């Protein structure tokens, strides 16, 4: 009887946490089908459903939702791929190679990550404004400039995470490859990358999600409506003081979450191994 009570209490507690986590999602789903465009619902099972909020996202010429999604996917995918490429090469160099300034470089990367990114917003804004005068495609208001900012902000964390995994790979594998005549580049390409697939998938996923959901920097730098990301674009539905329209906002949020869910399900077999691999050192 005692074991039954303990098990019942645990299941009830777990069910409560699950319901608490799912309730905001359920509320967003109901709001996306609410024809009034508000968050107010009469019951947990509404009597009336409407697709007006979804239709407004695609039919209203003042709402370039598909363009926002295209911009977001392009920036997030580029940030994810480039972050993995640069981070993996840097982590391999810091872990396996000997060069002057190696220790100072690692300490500097760690020190920079301790400061909140919001402290650098004003400085980055001035820098990107100056860059716009001679390179408009990489300056203020450009997607290329925003991508550079994202890459610079995430590089330190990615390098440290990947370096922890490289340190766990036995050095004997490198020595055996060197005995067979492999160059450092061949060792990196043929040994490190196949073994690091789980942690590389995690880094790519975290970079994609972080860039996809980022709002503050994108809101500051992307001024043109056509160049906005989906997070910045959807904010216009709820940003006005007297013109909040939560219906299209909820519908757009659900549609925007689909790529992240698909990517997460595709890479889920790597997530557990990758998250633990980067934190161990053997």
CATH number of the domain that 151 lies in? 1.10.3720.10
Task: From 55, 75, 95, give the residue that closes a domain.
Answer: 55
Same domain, 75 and 200: yes
State which of 10, 30, 55 marks the end of a domain.
Answer: 55
Query: How many domains are contained in the chain?
Result: 2
Other C-beta atoms within 10 Å of 126: how many?
11
What's residue 37's pLDDT? 67
What single string gives the DSSP state of each residue in the chain?
Answer: -HHHHHHHHHHHHHHHHHHHHHHHHHHHHHHHT-TT-SS--SSSS-S----HHHHHHHH-TT--HHHHHHHHHHHHHHHHHHHHHHHHHHHHHHHH---TTHHHHHHHHHHHHTS-GGGGHHHHHHHHHHHHHH-GGGSTT-HHHHHHHHHHHHHHHHHHHHHHHHHHS-HHHHHHHHHTT--HHHHIIIIIHHHTHHHHHHHHHHHHHHHHH--HHHHHH--SSTT--HHHHHGGGT-SSS---HHHHHHHHHHHHHHHHHHHHHSHHHHHHHHHHTT---
- Are 132 and 271 in a shared domain? yes
* In a shared domain, residues 142 and 195: yes
45 and 146 both lie in a single domain: no
Same domain for 44 and 69, yes or no, is: no
Residue 282 placed within a domain:
no
- Render each residue's pLDDT in the chain as its tens digit; 282 residues: 677 777 788 888 889 999 898 888 888 888 888 877 666 666 667 677 788 888 888 888 888 899 999 999 999 999 999 989 988 888 888 888 888 888 888 888 878 777 777 788 888 888 888 888 888 888 888 888 888 888 887 777 888 888 888 888 888 888 888 888 888 788 888 888 888 888 888 888 888 988 998 888 888 888 888 888 999 888 888 776 556 778 888 889 999 999 988 888 887 777 766 555 544 444
* Structural domain span for residue 13: 2-55
Alpha carbon dihedral 107, 113, 118, 119, in 10-degree steps, equals: -20
Is 250 part of any domain? yes
Separation between Cα atoms, residue 49 and residue 103, nearest integer Å: 60
50 & 69 share domain: no
In a domain, 266, yes or no: yes
Residues 244 and 115 in one domain: yes
In this structure, the answer to whether residues 93 and 24 fall within a common structural domain is no
Considering the domain architecture, whether residues 80 and 6 belong to the same structural domain is answered as: no
Question: Same structural domain for residues 20 and 86?
Answer: no
Q: Is residue 31 part of a domain?
A: yes
Same structural domain, 82 and 39: no
pLDDT at residue 171 in the model: 82
The whole-number pLDDT of residue 116 equals 74
Answer yes or no: do 222 and 98 share one domain. yes
* pLDDT for position 77: 93
């Amino acid at each position: 009887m005692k074991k039954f009570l303990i098990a019942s209490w645990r299941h009830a507690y777990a069910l409560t946490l699950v319901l608490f986590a799912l309730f905001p999602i359920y509320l967003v789903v109901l709001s996306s089908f609410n024809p009034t465009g508000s968050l107010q619902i009469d019951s947990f099972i509404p009597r009336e459903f409407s697709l007006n909020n979804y239709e407004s996202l695609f039919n209203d010429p003042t709402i370039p939702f598909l363009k926002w999604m295209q911009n977001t996917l392009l920036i997030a995918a580029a940030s994810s791929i480039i972050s993995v490429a640069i981070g993996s090469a840097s982590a391999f160099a810091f872990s396996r190679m000997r060069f002057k300034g190696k220790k100072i470089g690692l300490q500097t990367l760690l020190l920079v990550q301790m400061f909140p990114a919001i402290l650098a917003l004003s400085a980055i804004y001035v820098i990107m404004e100056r860059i716009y005068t001679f390179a408009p495609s990489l300056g203020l208001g450009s997607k290329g400039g925003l991508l550079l900012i994202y890459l610079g902000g995430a590089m330190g964390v990615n390098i440290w995470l990947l370096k922890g995994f490289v340190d766990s790979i036995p050095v004997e594998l490198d020595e055996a490859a060197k005995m067979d005549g492999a160059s450092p580049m061949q060792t990196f390409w043929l040994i490190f990358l196949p073994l690091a697939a789980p942690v590389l998938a995690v880094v790519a996923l975290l970079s994609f999600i972080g860039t996809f959901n980022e709002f503050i920097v994108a809101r500051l730098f992307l001024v043109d409506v056509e160049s906005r990301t989906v997070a910045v674009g959807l904010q216009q539905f709820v940003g006005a003081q007297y013109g909040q329209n939560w219906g299209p906002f909820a519908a757009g949020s659900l549609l925007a979450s689909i790529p992240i869910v698909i990517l997460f399900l595709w890479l889920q077999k790597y997530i557990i191994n990758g998250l633990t691999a980067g934190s161990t050192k053997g």
